[in-house]
Amino acid sequence: MTGLLHPARRLFAVSLVLICLLLAACSTPAKRQEIVTPNDVWEGRLSVQVAGDPPQRISADFFLEGTARRASMTLNSPLGTRLARMQWNDASAVLEVGDEKRSFESVDAMIKSSLGSALPMQAFFAWLHGRPESAPGWELQTLDRLQGRIRARSVDRTPAVQIDLVLEPR
């Protein structure tokens, strides 16, 4: 197996990683034991655009539960077919696309492998919680908690990445 994915699978993997990062970026203050609460669960629509050669775009329904340290995210097609599943904890990360399962040493390594670029996980989770936290190399363009809309884009990074989320009401 080579380290490079087919362009279509790479786009899908990049989108999955972005979704996972967005969902995992929300961390809670350090506790003795990390517990997933209803505030650590999101679902909705995700769109990721990567300005590469060729440009890539993926849209999917997503379900994310967890925190930046431990989470699980599933991406589904509009018809409900599972496109990918990501799981991570402090020790490892796993990306499943179809029958292919890849393991990584961290969620950051999984995202970099898929997108070719790092994502600001802490800021993404803050955005999911409605907090406009800044992140170096990223611009939060839209954070509309009432309508559940988030748009962020990378600045001064190659490849340029734009992420759009529409969250389902809780």
- CATH number of the 7-28+38-167 domain: 2.50.20.10
**3 state DSSP class of 71:** strand
In the chain, where the domains are located: 7-28+38-167
Tokens of 151: 């748009």
Phi, psi at 108, each rounded to 5°: -60, -40
pLDDT in tens, 52-104: 888 888 899 999 998 888 899 999 998 999 999 999 998 999 999 999 999 99
Q: How far apart (Å, rounded) are the C-alpha atoms in residues 74 and 82?
A: 7
pTM, entire model: 0.75
User: H helices then E strands: how many in the chain?
Assistant: 3, 9
The whole-number pLDDT of residue 101 equals 96
Mean pLDDT, range 143-148, rounded to an integer? 89
- Confirm if 138 and 153 have CB atoms less than 8 A apart: yes
Distance CA 147, CA 1 (A): 43
